[in-house]
Amino acid sequence: MTEPPPPTDTHCPYCALQCGMCLRRVAAAGPDAPGVAVEERPGFPVNLGALCGKGSNAADTLAGSVRLTTPLVRDRRTDPLRPATWEEALDRAARGLAQAARRHGREAAGVFGGGGLTNEKAYLLGKFARVVLRTPHIDYNGRFCMSSAAAAQRAAFGVDRGLPFPLADVARTGCLVLVGANPADTMPPALRHLRELREAGGTLIVVDPRRTRTAELADLHLRPAPGTDLALALGLLHLVIARGRVDEDFVARRTTGFAHARAAAMAHWPERVEALTGIPVGQMRRAVDLFCDAPTAMVLTARGGEQHSKGVDTVGAWINLCLATGRAGRPGSGYGCLTGQGNGQGGREHGQKADQLPGYRSLTDPAARAHVAAVWGVDPADLPGPGRSAYELLAGLGTPGGVRALLLMGSNPVVSAPDAPRITERLRALDHLVVCDVVRSETAELADVVLPSAQWAEETGTMTNLEGRVVLRRAAVPPPAGVRTDLDALHGLAARLGHPDGFPTTAREVFAELRRASAGGAADYAGITYERIEQEDGVFWPCPGEDHPGTPRLFLDRFATPDGRARFADVSHRPAAEEPDDAYPLLLTTGRVLAQYQSGAQTRRSPALNRAAPGPFVELHPRLAARLGVTDGDRLTVTSRRGTATAPARVTDAIRPDTVFMPFHWSGEGSANNLTNPALDPVSHMPEFKVCAVRVTKADTA
Ligand code: SF4
């Protein structure tokens, strides 16, 4: 009798925690059932074996019944998709991309990537756009994730890494402020660090309009009106200054620009901030006492604080608070961002972003262009410049001067983009759409060519988690017949478009090239090897050489700015792009639920997760419900200036009376993104997912 193979150590396919897990081969329960079972991996330091329901049920994504197992093509726009061979599908995909460029110029071809792609895929996709298509237009859905935090970090510290310290440092801080973050639902294993913080006597402040499960754990819950976090951060800094709690020595030694930040904060006196945010002055004073009295303190933001048309300024204001109180660049203190998608971090480091080359290099820096061009064997002058950001790229699809043929990999903008009906219309207007995905997503349904992708448990590749820790996902099972890796697909497309070389099909080969391309950049992977990752349970970048230990904590001696000092942001409050009025008197905010993930393309196909969270809902306060004559379960229509969404009511005092909440994991009539406002932050180009004006009616009276 042959021994069963040992379990494979790997990582969850979902969020930015990248929890370690083991996959054990099992006899499949049926022809379509997954041949692996998820088990604990207690030795991985980030989650110590703990998994949330999404991770525990991750094997469901491997079932043959829920996924694509053959390429699909459409003969005419009005025809249904039909099965095709890989040869036919790749031929058609390449022909469509080439044709758009021939007819309308190189910029008519575009690429849209995903924050769940491995570093190797993200890197090769960026190279494909810039070397094969020679288009500037590549961006990815990570732009909708933490781009505002990234831009604010870069401005303040000179480099952006979700957390500039290991997640375990959270347990060692004296006061943790979570801004628009709900890890109890989004990344439950992280709560272990919160529990340790509380056991060690630390305090937790949660800033969130909703009383989330995370807020229920807090010593102090501040509930600002959606869109007013920036005013709150300014008001808290005002109190810090007024009460003489500025760390003058730290400010003098390690920062620049405090005079402007001080002046802006002094214009946001507590009563003014109370009027803007709805938070009583007494609660603000208590927050400042908890924050300043603690020996160490941290602020962590997530999408609630970032997905705004002033997201960069909002994060900048929270960083200002950390800098003024000396809570940065010291163990146990600092600012960080709880990134969302599995590889939102690595996905932007290596070339999917419209303005960056691998290693966090700027596309407009001649030295950076020369370095990457040398690795790619092309003339730097042939590399295109920066392209359009994610929403701008999508909103321009099929328009004169816009992208006419799009290669889309690992993203589902029909569900996840703001003002989703408009983006769906734009996708339909394309001359040619190629989608690489694991499942037949809502976006794949619109494609001319669909290429079925191998997924997390079927292929090897690296991911970079929210700590900047590069981890290795290992293949545990082969992909089903008919499915190929995205690296294979890119190789096939590149070859058909005149580049038979330079697009390797093994992740190890791609990673070796990525290391060279990133060498010397801010996100330097030169010293990271698969062998080291395996031995060390992940390696933190920057890691410039194989004898370098990696860098778990950034900024301890200096910040990554030219003079080594952190820079205060010069920011003032401004209202949300859309405020309530007579026609749309309420605020809408959106977010996630425990059992679903992002656009739901994977988790909605898991029977267990679907039972736990079967559909959308509208959360509203009992006072608002009474005013509208609504009881729990009534169907409501929510209307914004862009569209409508219909879903059952969930009446709860966990939400403010002036605000309604909808999760965004579903498509169709219950899609929260039918409503959301695509107003963009002027720096990060992040859409304002987190606040817009709406009215609510019972569905039968809408
Ligand atoms: Fe997966 Fe995130 Fe859940 Fe961990 S917290 S198991 S990485 S979804």
CATH of residue 187's domain is: 3.40.228.10
Residues framing ligand 1 (Cβ under 6 A): 12, 14-15, 17-19, 47, 51-52, 54-55, 187-189
Q: With a cut of 50, list the residues of the chain below it in pLDDT.
A: 702
CA of 12 from ligand 1 middle (Å) equals 6
3-state secondary structure 92-154: HHHHHHHHHHHHHCHHHEEEEECCCCCHHHHHHHHHHHHHHHCCCCEEEHHHHCCHHHHHHHH
Q: Beta strand 677-680 with 659-663: parallel, antiparallel or unpaired? A: unpaired
CATH number of the domain to which 95 belongs: 3.40.50.740
Name, in order, each residue with C-beta under 8 angstroms of 409's C-beta and a sequence gap of 6 or more: 111, 112, 113, 114, 117, 121, 125, 435, 436, 437, 453, 486
Gap between the Cα atoms of 341 and 122, Å rounded:
13
Ligand 1 atom nearest 55 alpha carbon: 6
User: Do 281 and 214 have their domain in common?
Assistant: yes
The residue whose CB lies within 8 Å of the most ligand 1 atoms, and thus the one to mutate among 11, 18, 19, 57, is: 19
The percent helix, strand, coil of the chain (3-state, each to 5) is 35, 20, 45
What pLDDT, on a 0 to 100 scale, did the predictor assign at position 226?
94
Whether residue 552 lies inside any domain: the answer is no
CA of 52 from ligand 1 middle (Å) equals 6
Q: How many C-beta atoms lie closer than 10 Å to residue 293's C-beta?
A: 12
Task: Report how many domains make up the chain.
Answer: 4
User: Do 188 and 111 have their domain in common?
Assistant: no
User: Do 194 and 299 have their domain in common?
Assistant: yes
Q: Beta strand 405-409 with 109-113: parallel, antiparallel or unpaired? A: parallel
State which of 290, 317, 337 marks the end of a domain.
337
Whether residue 206 lies inside any domain: the answer is yes
Answer for the pair 119, 464: CB distance below 8 angstroms, yes or no: yes
Residue 308, phi then psi, degrees to nearest 5: -140, 160
CA of 535 from ligand 1 middle (Å) equals 22
The residue whose CB lies within 8 Å of the most ligand 1 atoms, and thus the one to mutate among 10, 11, 15, is: 15
State which of 311, 337, 363 marks the end of a domain.
337
User: Do 157 and 82 have their domain in common?
Assistant: no
User: Do 165 and 303 have their domain in common?
Assistant: yes
Whether residue 301 lies inside any domain: the answer is yes
User: Do 92 and 186 have their domain in common?
Assistant: no
pLDDT digits (tens, 9 = 90+) for 432-477: 999 999 999 999 999 999 999 999 999 999 999 999 999 999 999 9
Whether residue 558 lies inside any domain: the answer is no
State which of 66, 92, 108 marks the end of a domain.
66
Q: How many C-beta atoms lie closer than 10 Å to residue 364's C-beta?
A: 12
Ligand 1 atom nearest 15 alpha carbon: 2
CATH number of the domain to which 642 belongs: 2.40.40.20
Gap between the Cα atoms of 586 and 600, Å rounded:
27
What pLDDT, on a 0 to 100 scale, did the predictor assign at position 1?
59
Ligand 1 atom nearest 597 alpha carbon: 8
User: Do 124 and 172 have their domain in common?
Assistant: no
Q: What is the ipTM of this complex?
A: 0.99
CA of 33 from ligand 1 middle (Å) equals 22
Name, in order, each residue with C-beta under 8 angstroms of 181's C-beta and a sequence gap of 6 or more: 206, 208, 214, 300, 301, 302, 303, 304, 305, 338
What pLDDT, on a 0 to 100 scale, did the predictor assign at position 702?
47
Whether residue 520 lies inside any domain: the answer is no
User: Do 285 and 161 have their domain in common?
Assistant: yes
User: Do 356 and 328 have their domain in common?
Assistant: no
CA of 536 from ligand 1 middle (Å) equals 21
- Our separate counts of H helices and E strands in the chain read 23, 30
Distance in Å from the first CA to the final CA of the chain: 67
User: Do 58 and 91 have their domain in common?
Assistant: no
User: Do 59 and 81 have their domain in common?
Assistant: no
Gap between the Cα atoms of 692 and 584, Å rounded:
9
CATH number of the domain to which 34 belongs: 2.20.25
What pLDDT, on a 0 to 100 scale, did the predictor assign at position 34?
83
What pLDDT, on a 0 to 100 scale, did the predictor assign at position 515?
98
User: Do 191 and 310 have their domain in common?
Assistant: yes
CA of 83 from ligand 1 middle (Å) equals 34
Answer for the pair 138, 406: CB distance below 8 angstroms, yes or no: no
Gap between the Cα atoms of 358 and 203, Å rounded:
39
Place of tokens 């002046």: 263
Q: Give all strands (DSSP E) within 454-571, no chain letters.
A: 461-464, 469-473, 539-540, 566-567
Q: Residue of the nearest CA to atom 5 in ligand 1?
A: 187
Residue 196 φ/ψ region, left for φ over 0, alpha for ψ in the -120 to 50 degree band, beta for the rest: alpha
Domain holding 363, by residue range, is 72-144+344-455+483-506
The residue whose CB lies within 8 Å of the most ligand 1 atoms, and thus the one to mutate among 54, 466, 602, is: 54
Place of tokens 């209202």: 575
Q: Residue of the nearest CA to atom 2 in ligand 1?
A: 15
- Indicate yes or no: pTM above 0.90: yes
CA of 53 from ligand 1 middle (Å) equals 8
What pLDDT, on a 0 to 100 scale, did the predictor assign at position 29?
76
The pair of structure tokens assigned to 299 is 């602020």
